[in-house]
Amino acid sequence: MGRHIAEIEALTATDAGLIGCTRCGRVWPHAHVECERCGARLHRVDRHGLQAVWAWWLAGLIFYIPANVFPMLVTDTFGSLQKNTIVGGALELWKHHNYGVAAIVFVASIMIPIGKFIAVAYLAIIVGNEKRKGGHPHLLLLEVVEFIGRWSMIDVFVVAILSALVQLGYVASIHPGPAAASFALSVAFTMLSAQSFDPRLIWRGTKE
Amino acid sequence: MARVPNPDLGDLRGLIACPRCDLLHHTQQLSDGERAKCARCGSLLIWPRTGAFLHVVAFSFTGMILMIGAIFFPFLKISAQGLSHESSIFGVAMAFSDGWIAPLALAVLAMIVALPVFRFAALIYTLWPLANGRPAYRHSTTVFRLVEELQPWAMAEIFIIGTAVALVKVAGLASVSLGPAFWAFCVLIIVIALKNSFMSNWTIWDAISQK
Amino acid sequence: MTETPDPGPAELKTSAAKRPIWSRLSIIWIVPLLALVVTLGVAWKSFADRGELIHIDFKDATGVEVGTPLKFRDVQVGKVESVGFTSDLTQVRLGVRVDNDVAPYVDNDAKFWLVRPEVSARGIENLGTVLSGTYLEGFWTNKPSGARTQFTGLERPPLSPDPSKGTIIELRAQDAGGIVDGAPILYHGITVGHLQNLRLNKDGSGVIVDAFIEAPHNKLLTTQTRFWNTSGFSVKFDTSGLSLDVRSLATLVQGGVEFDTFTSGGDVVKNQDTFRLYDSQDVAKNSVFESDQVDPPRYTLLFDDPVQGLEVGSKVQVRGVEAGEVTALAIKVSTDSTGQSYAQQQVTIALSPDRLGLARDSDEKQTTQFIESQVVNGLRARIASVGLLGGTKIIELTDVPDQPNEKMNLDAKPFPTIPTAPPTANDLSQSAKGVFNRIEGLPIEKLMNSAIRTLDSISAVAENENTRKVPEELSGLLNQLRSFATDLNDKGAADKTVAALDGVTDAASSVLEEIDGLHETLASADKAAQAIADMPLGDIGDKIDTILADINGLLNKPGTQDLPQSLNQTLEQTAAILEQLRKAGAADKLNQTLAATQDAAASVSKAADRLPELTQRLDTLVAQAQGLVSTYGQGSNFSNETLTTLRELRRSITDIGAVARMIERNPRAFILGR
């Protein structure tokens, strides 16, 4: 944020008795349910929408469990199968003294997804609280979650590329494990969860 | 930006509510290169550029051409001890085609190929008439809304980063040669980034709605 | 009339100047244009470089999939683009993209095959393909000729893809005999090539194997070259002991083939020439079949009598000439007209046309025609025995008199049959009788009688008054003779002689005891006896006759008339000794000895290596006899003559030895006369 703007007490669309389209920004009278310009559904700024956030959040969390329990990659080297879970892969790297890579894997595949869950849950809990301070850090947090949420799909693509590429017959071949699907679903649900989060709530206490 | 103590609610057309924080603003005619941000949260709201529509259309064409090349050219090839294996983009998606995770193959294919292509096509459909000063085609609003909604799911740029990560992992095991598809994809994400820089949603919506 | 306005010149319709299209176009269009150009450029390049599409048909394309590489000299030059079927679905058709730089050389001489891992006794081959998977290999020469796009893949990898690196020939044998694919080809123990593609021939009656002999060793080949199997090891158990022959460990495991050229004058060998693979080096050297007679005409013989001692490889003689071999033995059960089944021995023989006197390249039909005509003239197959001791059975195709008219059955399967005759009668009593008849026929009795008669006449002369007037020198001679006779008497000469002869007999009989299978020998012995008759035994008798004649001559000389009484007595004594000898059964003993010697000679001829020993033994006996006689006085006439006789006998024994050796070398020559 280039210039910091202190809490500006300004008129929001809701305050003005209007409803703003979150897709195109057009404002409509309070009673409108659909944006006439872009056709998107108009959402009121209220905690009601957080139910969807929680629902996707929970689905994402549920799928995150098998994503960690089942192997992500099955490596077949000279006939010996090696199944790597996400955590197992990181630990393996750690054991082989590849601390740097292990750390990267640990951060990217474990900390960030877990951080996302925590961040979304935190925001979903905090937005209703009148005593919260500062919209900017929270919006930043949400934007980071939204941004990283997509990039978590990297793991899935890496599995896909490795599986497609490392097909050297008996010498080495890599196959995707069931965790790849769980992980992809988990990422997708987390993305949906973050998308469902109405950032306008950050700026506005809910008063029901 | 002046505060609006008593907004003229009669002309809602001249207002914009920040999608991020719901703050109401008056819209103004911006000259080329100017950028309008939300007064409270700083989100970029309007950033019109001269010939933006044309640029977006041109970049979309570029992107489609590159995507076609990326699909049909060899993507990556590894070789180790005389053994080699190569894969196309399609082959990468098909890595998940075995067993019950097969839908994931479709999802991956959609994320890295189908959705970007759809978005290019949709943008061309929506913006081509606008760029030529003609009214928008039918269903342009629906099509452009889909473009907007599907934006997070088109992951071409993420895919290329994934490729980079995979290359780092494989590099020690085997030597990897990059095919034309890889380079096409790299150029593709640059094109996508350029295209996005020209896409001011408000401006486009404004243009579409001006029948 | 309404007023019409004056038709003035109309106003031109004008429109604003259109800006040229290039000025209306935004510079931004360069971006997609550039992308299009680059993409099309890359596409064009990959299209131009994609290579020629050829199709290769395979019966079995296990492990081939789209992307399987095509290699030439182990370098990838293309890959499989499609895997489909031929229109009749019997073969797999592979569409293969061949790189442009080699495509012009993929022409009529191109060969394609699949390389897969192979596990055999020699280990694992193409180990790389275990890891990389099956791949296609191709070979073509560096001379482009008549490009083709449709090929048929080889079922097996070729022995050596590059024909300039050696010669590929085909070996045919009855059975593989331990050979496996990849077995080495040895020349004087050095590996000069290898075998591959071991397979059954079309009718399954034999095996064919391709042999690749690497350059420059392929120059050693001529059409006269003979190949033999050295697979495994051979254990030979014979008089020289037990011998184990293993060419190399490799041949023990995977078999092997060795070759050599025993005769000169062969032609240059071309690729794909066919050679016979002999069972062993001996067979290769001695076989009546030339290298190129890989499939000689074959015939079936049916014998009612049991065939013992006949084996695969036994010789076949046609009118005494070795002209073939037995290739198979079996039992054939037939049913006669009364419905009773009976078994016959079915012997399959192969005949060499050129040994029959036909042209070397005569085919089966010509050979059969020839045999057929001979059968009409009385040619029959029968089992005969050869060798003096061995009882080696052979098949004899010879004219047998008094046989019922029979014809060849040309339609018999698998081979035409040649009518057979019962084996030659060979029973013991007959043979023995023949032998003894002959020995009895020897002129020994006559010789003895004539000696006695002569001595009688000497006695008569000696009793004559005139002999007393014998000259002084003769008196000395007579004294010597008398003392000799005395010595003879004193030392029991007769007994000793008899004992010596007994010794000979014992030796001979001990020799006989050593020999098993006398029964089988007798047939040969019969023939041997014939030879004995031809031996210079008659000469011995003649010699003795000559001696006696000489004595007679001496006695009939005028001076001899005056021989003293003492001489007369001496002569009487001499006669008595001879009489004694006769009474002691000397003639019989001699007969026996001769028989024994004959048998001994037979055994000698059988076991060639025992020959020197036996000859030596006989020699020793003669030497003993000589020594015995010489003890009766050096220089005495009798002694000298006897020694001469014994020397003759010794020479005769040497002759026997020579004959025996000759017999061993070539029994046929012996039977038919030299």
Q: What is the pLDDT of residues C614-665, one digit of tens each?
A: 456 555 655 555 555 555 444 445 445 555 555 655 565 555 555 555 545 5
Rg (CA), chain A: 22
Please answer whether residues C246 and C238 qualify as being in contact, where contact means their C-beta atoms are separated by less than 8 angstroms: no
3-state secondary structure of C53: strand
Residues 6+ apart with CB under 8 A from A9: none
Considering the domain architecture, whether residues B37 and B77 belong to the same structural domain is answered as: no
Highest mean pLDDT among A79-83, C122-126, C488-492: A79-83
The answer to whether C375 and C362 are in contact (CB under 8 A) is no
Coil, helix or strand for A88? helix
Domain boundaries, chain A: 1-44, 46-203
* Closest chain B residue to C42, measured at CA: B180
Range of the domain at C126: 52-152
Q: Which residue has the higher pLDDT, C40 or C255?
A: C40
Whether residues B176 and B105 share a domain: the answer is yes
- What tens digit of pLDDT does each residue of C177-204 get? 777 777 788 888 788 887 877 888 887 7
pLDDT value of position B195? 87
Q: Pairing state of beta strands A172-176 and A167-168?
A: antiparallel
C101 contacts C144 by C-beta, under 8 angstroms: no
What is the average pLDDT across B18-45? 80
Q: Considering only alpha carbons, which residue of chain A is nearest residue B23?
A: A12
Q: How many structural domains are present in chain B?
A: 2
Answer yes or no: do B41 and B97 share one domain. Answer: no
Tell which CATH classification among 1.20.140, 1.10.260, 1.20.1260, 1.20.1080 matches the domain A46-203: 1.20.140
Q: Is the model's pLDDT at C499 over the cut of 80?
A: no
Residue C45 has pLDDT above 70, yes or no: yes
CB A90 within 8 A of CB A157: no
Say if C292 falls within a structural domain: no
Question: Do the Cβ atoms of A171 and C131 come within 8 Å?
Answer: yes
Instruction: Enumerate the β-bridge partners of residue C92.
Output: C58, C85
pLDDT tops 70 at residue C430 = no
Q: What is the pLDDT of residue C652?
A: 54
CB–CB of B172/B132 below 8 Å? no
Q: Among partner residues C26, C42, C128, which is closest to B73 by beta-carbon distance?
A: C42
Q: Does C26 touch chain B (CB under 8 A)?
A: yes
Span C447-458, pLDDT tens digits: 556 556 655 655
Q: Does B164 touch chain A (CB under 8 A)?
A: no
CB nearest B22 (choices: A45, A151, A163)? A45
Cβ of C132 within 8 Å of Cβ of B82? The answer is yes
Under 8 Å between Cβ of C43 and B69:
yes
DSSP strand E in C557-638: where? none
Mean pLDDT of B78-89: 80
Cis before C414? omega within 30: yes
Q: Looking at the structure, tell me whether residues B180 and B104 fall in a common domain.
A: yes
User: Contact, C362 vs C577, CB < 8 A?
Assistant: no
Q: How many CA atoms lie within 13 A of B153 on its CB side?
A: 22
pLDDT tier, C674 (very low <50, low <70, confident <90, very high otherwise): very low
Is the domain of B157 the same as that of B192? yes
Cβ separation B82–C32 shorter than 8 A = no
- CB B119, CB B150: distance < 8 Å: yes
* Nearest-angstrom CA–CA distance, A50 and A206: 11
Number of domains in chain C: 4
Asked if residue B41 is part of any domain, the answer here is: yes
Instruction: Assign 3-state DSSP to chain B and report helix, strand, coil percentages, each to 5.
Output: 60, 10, 30
Omega within 30 of 0 (cis) for the link into C32:
no
* Alpha-carbon gap, residue A44 to A65, rounded angstroms: 34
Indicate the residue type of C131. L
Q: What is the CB neighbour count within 10 angstroms for residue C87?
A: 8
pLDDT for B117 equals 93
- Asked whether C614 and C507 are in contact (CB, 8 A), the reply is no
Q: Are residues B114 and B61 in the same domain?
A: yes
Average pLDDT of span A23-41:
81
Choose the final residue of a domain: C390, C418, C446: C418
User: How high is the pLDDT of residue C604?
Assistant: 40
**Residue scoring higher pLDDT (C354 or A88):** A88
Residue C1 lies in a domain: no
Residues of A with CB under 8 A from a CB of C: 168-171
Please check whether residue B1 lies inside any domain of the structure: no
* Residue B70 sits at the chain C interface (C-beta within 8 Å): no
Specify whether C653 is located in the same domain as C516: yes
Tell me, what's the pLDDT at A168? 77
What average pLDDT does this structure show over C593-597? 51
Q: How far apart are CA B11 and CA B189, in angstroms?
A: 40
Q: How far is B27 from chain C (nearest CA, A)?
A: 28
Is there a single domain that holds both residue B23 and residue B124?
no
The 8-class DSSP code of residue A85 comes to -
Amino acid present at B47: W
pLDDT in tens, A161-208: 988 888 877 677 888 888 888 999 999 999 899 888 888 877 765 443
Residue C192: count of CB within 10 angstroms of its CB: 21
Q: Which residue of B has its CA nearest to A188?
A: B153
Q: What is each CA distance from C564 to C465, C470, C472, in whole angstroms?
A: 8, 6, 10
Residue C25 located in a structural domain: no
| Strand C52-58, strand C92-98: pairing | antiparallel
Mind listing the pLDDT tens digit for each residue in C244-303?
Answer: 665 555 556 667 788 888 777 777 887 778 888 887 777 777 777 776 666 778 888 888
Are C446 and C541 members of one domain?
Answer: yes
Q: Are residues B35 and B124 in the same domain?
A: no
Q: Let me know: does C359 contact C353? Beta carbons within 8 Å.
A: yes
Q: Taking residues C229-254, report their average pLDDT.
A: 60
Q: Which residue of chain A has the CA closest to B182?
A: A161
Largest CA distance in chain A: 70
Does residue B178 sit at the C interface (CB-CB below 8 Å)? no
How far apart are the C-alpha atoms of A18 and A9, rounded to whole Å?
17
Q: For A5-45, what is the HEC assignment?
A: CCCCCCCECCCCCEEECCCCCCEEECCCCECCCCCCECCCC
The answer to which of A66-80, C221-235, C407-421 has the lowest mean pLDDT is: C221-235
Distance CA C241, CA A15 (A): 122
Alpha carbons within 13 A on the beta-carbon side of C283:
20
Are C183 and C133 found together in one domain?
Answer: no
By residue count, chain A amounts to 208
C234 φ, ψ (degrees, to nearest 5): -120, 135
Side chain identity at residue C332, one-letter code: K
Secondary structure class of C303 (helix, strand, coil): strand
CA angle B155, B159, B162 (to 5 degrees): 140
| Average pLDDT in chain A | 80
Counting residues of chain B whose pLDDT is more than 90, the rounded percentage is: 14
Output the CA–CA distances (angstroms, integers) from residue A38 to A21, A28, C229, C534, in the order listed.
Answer: 9, 12, 91, 134
User: Distance from A198 to chain B by nearest Cα, in Å?
Assistant: 8
Instruction: Say how far apart CA B93 and CA B103 lie, in whole Å.
Output: 10
Average pLDDT, chain B: 83
Contacting B residues, span 65-94, partner chain A, CB-CB under 8 Å: 76, 78, 80-81, 83-87, 91-94
Q: Rounded to whole angstroms, how far apart are CA atoms B197 and B193?
A: 6
| Interchain proximity B12–A28, CB inside 8 Å | yes
Residue B99 lies in a domain: yes
Nearest to B158 among A19, A153, A195 (CB): A153
CA C393 to chain CA centroid, nearest Å: 16
Q: Are residues C405 and C446 in the same domain?
A: no
Q: Determine phi and psi for C121, rounding to 5 degrees.
A: -60, -25
CB contact under 8 A, B80 and A172: yes
Q: What is the rounded average pLDDT for all residues in chain C?
A: 67
Mean pLDDT of A110-129: 85
Looking at the domain assignment, is residue B4 inside a domain? no
Inter-residue contact B51 to B75 (CB < 8 Å):
no
Q: What per-residue string of b and e applies to C586-622 under the rule 16 or more CB within 10 Å gives b?
A: bbebbbbbbbbbbbbbbbbbbbeebbeebbebbeebb
Structure tokens at C73: 């000299």
Q: Could you tell me if C389 and C490 lie in one domain?
A: no
Strand C69-72 with C75-85, pairing: antiparallel
Residue B140 domain-assigned? yes
Q: Would residue B2 count as lying in a domain? A: no
Q: Are residues C408 and C436 in the same domain?
A: no
Rounded distance between C-alpha atoms, residue C437 and residue C440, angstroms: 5
Residues of B in contact with A191 (CB under 8 A): 152-153
| Measured distance CA(A116)–CA(A145) in Å, rounded | 6
Residues B83 and B22 in one domain: no
Q: Examine the domain organization and report whether B187 and B171 are in the same domain.
A: yes
How many A/C residue pairs have CB atoms within 8 Å?
Answer: 10
> How far apart are the C-alpha atoms of C106 and C52, rounded to whole Å?
10
* Cross-strand partners of C321: C318
Tell me which chain C residues have a C-beta less than 8 angstroms from the C-beta of B69.
38-39, 42-43
Q: Which chain B residues are within 8 Å of C28, Cβ to Cβ?
A: 51, 54-55, 58-59
Cα–Cα nearest to A203, from B38, B80, C63, B120: B38
C560/C649 same-domain check: yes
Residues C525 and C584 in one domain: yes
Q: Compute the average pLDDT of residues C431-442.
A: 51
Q: Are strands C123-125 and C166-173 parallel, antiparallel or unpaired?
A: unpaired
Domain limits for position B34: 12-46
pLDDT of residue C467: 45
Does residue B3 lie within any of the structural domains? no
Kindly state the helix (H) or strand (E) to which residue C314 belongs, with its residue range: none
A72 vs A178: CA distance, rounded Å: 6
Q: What is the percent of chain C with per-residue pLDDT over 70, rounded to a whole number?
A: 51
User: To the nearest whole angstrom, how far is the Cα of A115 from the nearest Cα of chain B?
Assistant: 20
First to last CA, chain B: 29
* Interface ipTM above 0.95: no
Residues C195 and C125 reside in one and the same domain: no
| Averaged pLDDT for residues C108-127 | 71
pLDDT of residue B125: 92
Cα distances (angstroms) measured from residue C112 to each of C50, C76, C539: 20, 13, 80
- B156 pLDDT exceeds 70? yes
**DSSP code at position B23:** B
Same structural domain for residues C303 and C407? yes
DSSP string, B61-110: HHHHHHHHHHHHS--EEEEETTEEEEE-HHHHHGGG-SGGGHHHHHHHHI
C391 and C435 belong to one structural domain: no
Residues A122, A54 contacting (CB under 8 angstroms): no
Residue C60's beta-bridge partner residues?
Answer: none
Q: Tell me: do C631 and C531 sit in the same domain.
A: yes
- The token pair that represents C299 in the structure block: 């015939």
Query: Which among A164, A184, A139 has a CA at the least distance from the CA of A1?
Result: A139
Q: What is the pLDDT of residue C519?
A: 42
When pLDDT is averaged across residues A131-135 and rounded to a whole number, the result is 60
Q: What single-letter DSSP state applies at residue B151? A: G
DSSP element (H, E) containing C358: none
CA distances to B48, B55, B67, C31, C33 from B63, rounded to whole Å, are 22, 12, 6, 10, 11
- Tell if the CB–CB gap between B101 and A176 is shorter than 8 Å: yes
Q: Is residue C608's pLDDT more than 50? A: no
Residue C10 lies in a domain: no
Q: Is residue C653 part of a domain?
A: yes
Residue C481 DSSP symbol: H
Q: Collapse the DSSP code of C187 into the 3-class scheme (helix H, G, I; strand E, B; otherwise coil) and give the result.
A: strand
Proportion of chain C in helix, strand, coil states, percent, rounded to 5: 40, 25, 35
Q: Which one of A78, A165, A170, A173 would you mutate to disrupt binding with C, by most C Cβ within 10 Å of its Cβ?
A: A170
